Amino acid sequence: MREIGIGIVGGGYMGKAHSVAMSSVGAVFNTHLRPRLQMICARTDSTAEKYRKSYGFKTATSDWRVLVKDPAVEAVIIATPQIEHREIAIAAFAEGKPVFCEKPLGSSINDATEMTDAAEASGLPNMVGFNYIRTPASQFVRKLLAKGELGKVTWFRGEHTEDFLADPQTPASWRCRGMSNGTLGDLAPHMINAALALMGPICSLLCEYETVHKERPGGDVGNDDHAQIMCRFDSGAMGHMYFSRVATGRKMGYAYEIHGTKGSVRFDQEDQNSIWLYRSEGPEAERGFRQILTGPAHPDYEPFCQGPGHGTGYQDQIIIEARDFLLAIEENKSHWPSFKDGLQVSRVVNAALKSGEQRSWVDLVSV
């Protein structure tokens, strides 16, 4: 067992989640590497100091360059808006430090490509933070699909729907500026990552997106409120995905449904501790979807709780990510999803934007 100094750039929503995860991961998973909360970086010195005291870091700074260069910081976690990801990641790799970057990888396909090139050239462990696919339920679904339990998969439907901007009187904010902060840039990457993880590569797609509330108190809206993608996977299966930040009533609508020749499965993040599974077997009169509650028999559940049906939560997904990042550093090789996997998500987003502009199908090979 040895300590490793962790530096986190960004102390807000995700900065706190990663700080808590790094504080807890050793006890939950009995990791060989034990994180030491070395340095936290925030916008101002006073805010950074507040986070330092709250989260238990040794030092604080308002300059991410100081954090990246500090020899006591041995691995870097980037939890800032995506427009800042590229510069921080490339600098960290140049200093010889593994990087965990929150999704999406960058604010554009160019950012994502440059970051991936830097990661590959460095040979250092790297990961992207797609946490929702790490629930024990979704990990179990991945295993079902990998073993062919649903037969030949013919159709995928996914959504990531929330309602934090459903009210047209909600004031305009940074989320309303720039396509990278719109629904395709912000929410869509999570479900696109799920589709790639569960179904494999996408070969072509058709996308349309729309700004529902073009004006808000405080300014105009310059990006999309919701979007939909119709796609075809390399496997031949058909797919559809919908993303929205104006889906009234939806708080965490990360949901998917998959149809196969031997069965089907449904999952909804708002009920993250269960899946609904249908198997085409037995008498027709006795067939139907059955609810499966997650428990110690499902991936990464038992370290948190030994009771079936008791459930895991959002923070636990981040702790699982922390475990995987520490394993990647220990083994000196990237774990899924790496920057290369994040780049594939960015390629799909980029293709979706092009399709929406052209109002036509786009082949992923062409972009």
* DSSP annotation string for 185-237: HHTHHHHHHHHHHHH--EEEEEEEEE-S--EETTEE--S-SEEEEEEEETTS-
Q: What is the 3-state secondary structure (H, E, C) of 222-234?
A: CCCCEEEEEEEEC
Residue 288 has what pLDDT? 95
Q: Are 205 and 180 in contact (CB under 8 A)?
A: no
- CB 340: neighbour CB atoms within 10 A? 16
Query: In Å, how far are 5, 10, 58, 91, 322 from 76, measured between CA atoms?
Result: 9, 11, 15, 10, 12
Residue 151 has what pLDDT? 98
Bridge partners of residue 227, in order along the sequence: 209, 243
Q: Which amino acid is at 90?
A: I
Cis amide bond preceding 299, omega within 30:
no
Bridge partners of residue 202, in order along the sequence: 233
Half-sphere exposure of 265 (CA within 13 A, CB side): 22
Residue 247 has what pLDDT? 98
Residue 177 has what pLDDT? 94
Domain covering 2-132+324-334, topology = Rossmann fold (3.40.50)
Distance CA 188, CA 229 (A): 10
Q: Which residue has the tokens 């020749």?
A: 261
Q: Which residue has the tokens 């031949």?
A: 236
CATH 3.30.360.10 domain position(s) in the chain: 133-312+346-358
For helices 45-55 and 13-29, give the axis angle rounded to 10 degrees. 30
Q: Are 331 and 37 in contact (CB under 8 A)?
A: no
Residue 340 has what pLDDT? 98
Torsion sign, CA atoms 314, 13, 117, 366: positive
- CATH number listed for the domain at residues 133-312+346-358: 3.30.360.10
CATH 3.40.50.720 domain position(s) in the chain: 2-132+324-334
- CB 133: neighbour CB atoms within 10 A? 21
Residues of the chain with pLDDT under 50: none
Helix (H, G, I), strand (E, B) or coil at 44: coil
**Nearest to 137, CA basis, from 194, 199, 196, 192:** 194
Q: Are 139 and 312 in contact (CB under 8 A)?
A: no
- CB 166: neighbour CB atoms within 10 A? 17
Residue 366 has what pLDDT? 76
Residue 218 has what pLDDT? 95
**Nearest to 222, CA basis, from 179, 165, 169, 166:** 179
Torsion sign, CA atoms 16, 19, 21, 27: negative
Query: In Å, how far are 99, 101, 175, 303 from 90, measured between CA atoms?
Result: 9, 11, 25, 34
